[in-house]
């Protein structure tokens, strides 16, 4: 059979691998960071239960910011899969 | 052709066996070392209880050891079984070794944490020794589940007949399945261990909170295991779906990438959920009237941490089914 692997095929393969690496490694940091945030929120509510509402709100805002890099990874992965 | 298939099968079997036992030895050794360190500290604090603490240390270390025994079994199988001479046997052996080796890391380290804090707790609160051992056993057993997932995937890879599948995308699917379950087990084993550690610590400090602490420990550990289950799911899809034959480079790379994406993406969320569960359990022990609030915040926090694991699952499924 003739060699069917063309330049465009290699580029596509690289985009797929890139998408996997982007989302895979990109998921580590936010996961750990948000976990630490939740851990400290639990600690704070244990010490000061009256402020549970305020602490939960602060935790969620902080986690949302930490989540942003995970969303960047998702966006880059989707761009690599469908746009580039 | 100077090298026949049999040569490559041997190369894959030996390098796979080496990776299984090499990576597989990391976790259990660290976990057992931690347990022994805690046991020494505990015995120096409460010398009269040295017999009980020594026993608890050995039981805990035996559980932590089990993950690396799985790796030993797979390594032995790879070294001494005669495998069929087929091109796809090469990725099968390589993938199975990598899967079990990486899969044993998290479970080994994770199971060492509750065993260590059980020893410390026995020295602090000898009356709770029985309950502490029970919690250690439950907690460590949950830590072993991701290693068992890896073992299952390795066995399925070794005993499935891939000889009728097309070589081209199937080799990548096999490797991807091994990578997904191997890396995917690291975080869940560690995270589950962190939660169980806090429960032994909490019971020894506040024996009256045992029930609440154990319940929340199990809940928190269950959440940390979810990403390993996603990885197992992706492995199963990659192993059991039949892919159409292709001569292009992109389709196999998409399958390999799906395995990398889900495997590595599962590490972070599980460790983060472990941290959240650890603090929730620790503070329920200190402040048992806040069980509801703390459980709610733990679950909300864990759900947010889970999100990136779900993104990884979505990208992996897109790579398998869409592109």
Q: How many domains does chain B have?
A: 1
Q: What is the residue-wise DSSP string for B65-97?
A: HHHHHHHHHHHHHHHHS-----TTHHHHHHHHH
> Are A18 and A80 contacting, i.e. CB atoms less than 8 angstroms apart?
yes
Answer whether residue B163 shows pLDDT above 90.
no
How many whole angstroms separate alpha carbon B190 and alpha carbon A21? 22
Please list, in sequence order, all residues whose beta carbon lies within 8 angstroms of the beta carbon of residue A24, skipping any fewer than 6 positions away.
B260, B261, B262, B263, B264, B265, B312
Contact residues, A window 20-79, toward B, CB-based 8 Å cutoff? 20-21, 23-43, 45-47, 49, 52, 55-56, 59-60, 63-64, 67, 70-71, 73-74, 77-78
| Per-residue model confidence as pLDDT tens digits over B259-289 | 999 999 999 999 999 999 999 999 999 988 8
How many whole angstroms separate alpha carbon B240 and alpha carbon B170? 10
Answer whether residue B1 shows pLDDT above 70.
no
pLDDT band, very low/low/confident/very high, at B298 (cuts 50, 70, 90): very high
How many whole angstroms separate alpha carbon B173 and alpha carbon B291? 45
The enclosing domain of B305 has a CATH number of: 1.20.120.610
How many whole angstroms separate alpha carbon A34 and alpha carbon B168? 40
Contact residues, B window 262-321, toward A, CB-based 8 Å cutoff? 262-276, 278-280, 282-284, 286-287, 289-290, 293-294, 296-298, 300-302, 304-309, 311-312, 314-316, 318-319
Nearest to A49 among B257, B287, B312 (CB): B287
Looking at residue A3, its pLDDT comes to 64
| Per-residue model confidence as pLDDT tens digits over B102-119 | 999 999 999 999 999 999
How many whole angstroms separate alpha carbon B95 and alpha carbon B175? 5
B260 contacts A42? CB cut-off 8 A: no
> Are A33 and B272 contacting, i.e. CB atoms less than 8 angstroms apart?
yes
Nearest to B275 among A14, A21, A36 (CB): A36
Q: Which of B58, B237, B36 is nearest to B137 (CA)?
A: B58
- Give how far A73 is from chain B: nearest CA, Å: 9
Q: Which of A7, A13, A16 to mutate to test the interface with B (most CBs of B within 10 A)?
A: A16
A24 contacts B262? CB cut-off 8 A: yes
Answer whether residue B215 shows pLDDT above 70.
yes
Mean pLDDT of the B301-321 span: 95
Number of Cβ atoms within 10 Å of the Cβ of B245: 12
Portion of chain B with pLDDT greater than 90, in percent: 91
Looking at residue A6, its pLDDT comes to 85
User: Which residue range is the domain that position B196 belongs to?
Assistant: 5-321
How many whole angstroms separate alpha carbon B242 and alpha carbon B176? 14
Looking at residue B2, its pLDDT comes to 62
Q: Which of B208, B35, B30, B209 is nearest to B114 (CA)?
A: B35
Q: Which domains does chain A have, with CATH numbers?
A: 29-84 (1.20.20.10)
Mean pLDDT of the B294-310 span: 95
Mean pLDDT of the B80-107 span: 94
How many whole angstroms separate alpha carbon B210 and alpha carbon B128? 10
Looking at residue B127, its pLDDT comes to 92
Query: B110: part of which helix (H) or strand (E)?
Result: helix B89-124
Contact residues, B window 7-36, toward A, CB-based 8 Å cutoff? none
Helices (H), chain B: 5-45, 50-80, 89-124, 129-159, 167-205, 210-240, 250-265, 267-286, 291-321
How many whole angstroms separate alpha carbon B111 and alpha carbon A22? 30
Mean pLDDT of the B280-307 span: 93
| Per-residue model confidence as pLDDT tens digits over B50-81 | 999 999 999 999 999 999 999 999 999 999 99
pLDDT band, very low/low/confident/very high, at B3 (cuts 50, 70, 90): confident
Looking at residue B288, its pLDDT comes to 86
| Per-residue model confidence as pLDDT tens digits over B245-259 | 988 999 999 999 999
| Per-residue model confidence as pLDDT tens digits over A18-60 | 999 999 999 999 999 999 999 999 999 999 999 999 999 999 9
């Amino acid at each position: 059979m003739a060699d069917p692997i063309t330049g465009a095929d290699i580029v596509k393969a690289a985009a797929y691998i890139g998408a996997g690496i982007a989302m895979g490694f990109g998921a580590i940091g936010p996961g750990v960071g948000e976990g630490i945030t939740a851990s400290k929120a639990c600690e704070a509510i244990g010490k000061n239960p009256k402020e549970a509402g305020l602490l939960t709100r602060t935790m969620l805002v902080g986690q949302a910011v930490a989540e942003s890099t995970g969303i960047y990874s998702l966006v880059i992965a989707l761009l690599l899969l469908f746009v580039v | 052709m100077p090298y026949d298939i049999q040569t490559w099968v041997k190369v894959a079997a030996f390098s796979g066996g080496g990776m299984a036992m090499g990576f597989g030895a990391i976790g259990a050794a660290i976990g057992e070392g931690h347990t022994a360190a805690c046991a020494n500290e505990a015995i120096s604090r409460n010398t009269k209880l040295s017999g009980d603490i020594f026993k608890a240390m050995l039981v805990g270390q035996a559980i932590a050891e089990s993950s690396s025994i799985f790796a030993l079994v797979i390594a032995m199988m790879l070294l001494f079984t005669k495998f069929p001479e087929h091109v796809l046997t090469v990725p099968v052996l390589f993938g199975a070794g990598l899967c079990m080796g990486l899969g044993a890391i998290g479970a080994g380290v994770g199971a060492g944490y509750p065993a260590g804090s059980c020893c410390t707790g026995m020295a602090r609160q000898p009356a709770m020794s029985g309950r502490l051992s029970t919690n250690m056993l439950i907690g460590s057993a949950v830590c072993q589940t991701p290693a068992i997932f890896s073992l299952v995937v390795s066995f399925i890879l070794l005993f499935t007949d891939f000889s009728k599948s097309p070589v081209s995308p199937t080799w990548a699917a096999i490797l991807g399945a091994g990578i997904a379950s191997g890396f995917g087990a690291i975080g869940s084993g560690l995270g589950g261990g962190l939660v169980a550690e806090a429960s032994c610590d909490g019971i020894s400090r506040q024996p009256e909170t045992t029930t609440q602490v154990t319940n929340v420990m199990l809940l928190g550990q269950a959440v940390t295991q979810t990403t390993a289950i996603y990885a197992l799911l992706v492995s199963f899809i990659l192993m059991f779906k039949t892919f159409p034959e292709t001569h292009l480079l992109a389709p196999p790379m998409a399958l390999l990438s799906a395995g990398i994406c889900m495997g590595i993406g599962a590490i972070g969320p599980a460790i983060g959920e472990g941290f959240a569960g650890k603090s929730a359990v620790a503070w329920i022990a200190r402040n048992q009237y806040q069980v509801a609030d703390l459980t709610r915040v733990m679950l909300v926090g864990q759900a947010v941490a889970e999100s990136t694991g779900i993104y990884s699952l979505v990208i992996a499924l897109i790579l398998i089914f869409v592109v």
